[in-house]
Chain A
Amino acid sequence: MDRVDRPQDIKYWYGGIDTAYRYTVGIAGERFFRELRDTGKILASRCHRCNEAYVPPRLYCVKCFSELKDYEEVPDDGWYIHTYSTARNQEGQRLQEPLIWVVAKHRHVVGGLVHRLTRASPVDVTIGMRIRPLPKEKERRIGSILDLEGFVPSQ
């Protein structure tokens, strides 16, 4: 095999895979995003057999495979940082203030949300820090995960 270091020495054909997508949010997702948009609250679905609540809500319990039909509001109190990172943006560019990504978990539910931590200095972030969700103002909410600005420190 020859080493290729001059692109003009070989022929290329440029191609692409041009597809766009419109994703349905699903049965449980419809409940989750409507609630988030309309009230700013986060919903869980509960499995009574396993006595566990899922966030984001699911149609089924992954353990016992029951269909989950009961939804409940997740209290703002009880969220904490399971882990975090401070990062450049998606294109790898350095930012003035790094993005803070967190795995946000809640004491009373299974799962949680991956989101941004805002209104916090990177140097103050710790694993286990208590946080709460911050919805956007109602008029800016459209039924998307971006209806949350992110999480913020509880205090």
Chain B
Amino acid sequence: MKSRVAVVGAGMTLFRRRLLETGKELSFEAAKMALESGGATIGDVDSVVMGTAPDAFDGIHMKGEYLSDGAGGWRKPYTRAYVGGGTGVFAAVAGWWHVASGFSDLCLAVTEEKMSSCQPHPQYAFLTIFDHTLERPLRPNLLWIFALEMNRYMHTYSIPKEHIAMVSVKNKGNALHHPCSQLGAKITVDDVLNSEVIAWPVQLLDVSPTSDGAAAILLASEEKARELTDSPVWLDGVGWAIDSAYWTNRELAYPVYAEKAGRMAYRMAGITDPSKEIDVAEVYDPFSYKELHHMEGLQLCPRGKAPGLTADGVTQKDGDLPVNPSGGLLGVGNPIAAAGMMKVCEIFWQLRGEAGKRQVPDSPEVGLAHAWGDLMQFSSVVIMRR
């Protein structure tokens, strides 16, 4: 019989292109903030989960172990969770395992990425994710593969680029109110459409930045949560799924992995109609089109309909289905693992009414956080409820 699990604290650092702090120091700052917001100390913590993406970013192999004491893992049960870009939300899922299983009453889940170490640009680390005999000899760039997927998505549903550009406009605008954001900005659809073409149809303002940063949450058993706070946020559903690593063997216009992960989490949380029951969603948006693509996979709207809903304002902060009120990766920044956890933090703050100027109206009760990664075919999802 599994225990109910709550999030009782959250914290994050600034997201910036290059921070002075080491990865350990970033981890410490986020972990410390999560502990303090949860009214706990490191001595109260039974176990620690560290989510951090490829070693090649920070430039140290076995970086999970390297970061451990900064995350509060010294002489504790400590586990690294790593599923590429999906790591941030997956670290929350791994924390959930620790508590739901009855193993821990209090588990600290910390995520970190220090992308600026990789020179001259973290793209060089991304080049090594491709198949070494089939793809790498062709010298692919990470942006190409997103461009191929985006073009297929636009073609399948006849999506105008203007509607996709609206995601960047919305998210960067929302991020103006996030105190940790790297690229909050007031921009227009024309700004996006006139920005540099990197790999058609991906343009500069369709892309999230590379960043340094860390984020953390504190997870508690029901008994411990009620001891620590009057306003726990329950982690009532978790899901994750992976699709084929072959580009040619998955449906590029539709993220099946997101659907699988979403349905798993909805089933656990007792959600039957996510488009009506989810009050606020943080959907993974490293590229503008991915927010839309993922909304559809997550059953927040029918296939091909997310761009139209965005154009109609439904996903605005005060719309019927607010998506990425934090500002998302496009606005807050994209330190890979920490970016996903930032989304979990945002839902925590939104459901507690602590999101300040980013707060969505009408006291949301149910939220979703989603991340996506591995070789672009993995999704992790959590459903949170106050």
**A interface residue numbers (CB < 8 A to B):** 13, 15, 17-30, 58-60, 62-65, 67
Whether A24 touches B117, Cβ cut-off 8 Å, given contacts A17-B56, A19-B125, A65-B35, is: yes
B1-25 near A? 1/0 per residue, CB < 8 Å: 0000000000000000011111011
Q: Given the complex of chains A and B, what is the CA–CA distance between A27 and B116 in angstroms?
A: 16
Per a CB cutoff under 8 Å, which of B56, B70, B117, B128 touches A60?
Answer: B70
Chain B residues lying within 8 Å of A25, measured Cβ to Cβ, are: 22
Which of A19, A24, A27, A30 gathers the greatest number of chain B CB atoms within 10 Å?
A19
A26 touches B24 (CB 8 A): yes
B50-62 near A? 1/0 per residue, CB < 8 Å: 0000001001000
A30 touches B20 (CB 8 A): yes
Per a CB cutoff under 8 Å, which of A13, A15, A19 touches B118?
Answer: A19
Per a CB cutoff under 8 Å, which of A22, A62, A64 touches B119?
Answer: A22
Which of A13, A18, A27, A60 gathers the greatest number of chain B CB atoms within 10 Å?
A60
- Chain A's closest residue to B19 (CB) is A24
**B interface residue numbers (CB < 8 A to A):** 18-22, 24-25, 28, 31-32, 35, 41-43, 56, 59, 69-70, 72, 74, 114, 116-120, 124-125, 127-128, 132-133, 136-137
- Chain B's closest residue to A18 (CB) is B124
Other A-B contacts than A24-B19, A59-B24, 19 sampled, CB-CB below 8 A, are A17-B128, A19-B56, A19-B59, A19-B124, A20-B120, A24-B18, A24-B20, A24-B116, A26-B20, A26-B21, A26-B22, A26-B24, A59-B25, A59-B28, A60-B25, A62-B69, A63-B74, A65-B31, A67-B32
Chain B residues lying within 8 Å of A62, measured Cβ to Cβ, are: 69, 74
- Chain A's closest residue to B68 (CB) is A62
Q: Given the complex of chains A and B, what is the CA–CA distance between A60 and B132 in angstroms?
A: 41
- Chain B's closest residue to A60 (CB) is B28
A24 touches B119 (CB 8 A): no
Q: Given the complex of chains A and B, what is the CA–CA distance between A22 and B72 in angstroms?
A: 25
Per a CB cutoff under 8 Å, which of A21, A23, A27, A65 touches B25?
Answer: A27
In the assembled complex, the CB of B30 is this many whole angstroms from the nearest CB of chain A, namely 12
Chain B residues lying within 8 Å of A63, measured Cβ to Cβ, are: 74
In the assembled complex, the CB of B260 is this many whole angstroms from the nearest CB of chain A, namely 31
Q: Given the complex of chains A and B, what is the CA–CA distance between A59 and B35 in angstroms?
A: 17
In the assembled complex, the CB of A112 is this many whole angstroms from the nearest CB of chain B, namely 16
- Chain B's closest residue to A11 (CB) is B133
Q: Given the complex of chains A and B, what is the CA–CA distance between A65 and B72 in angstroms?
A: 7
Per a CB cutoff under 8 Å, which of B32, B43, B69, B132 touches A13?
Answer: B132
- Chain B's closest residue to A29 (CB) is B22
Which of A17, A58, A64, A65 gathers the greatest number of chain B CB atoms within 10 Å?
A65
B20 touches A64 (CB 8 A): no
Q: Given the complex of chains A and B, what is the CA–CA distance between A63 and B221 in angstroms?
A: 23
Q: Given the complex of chains A and B, what is the CA–CA distance between A23 and B59 in angstroms?
A: 8
Q: Which 7 A-B pairs have the closest CB atoms?
A: A26-B22, A21-B59, A65-B42, A62-B74, A62-B69, A20-B119, A60-B28
Q: Given the complex of chains A and B, what is the CA–CA distance between A26 and B212 in angstroms?
A: 13
Chain A residues lying within 8 Å of B137, measured Cβ to Cβ, are: 13, 15
A28 touches B136 (CB 8 A): no
Q: Given the complex of chains A and B, what is the CA–CA distance between A21 and B125 in angstroms?
A: 11
- Chain B's closest residue to A23 (CB) is B117
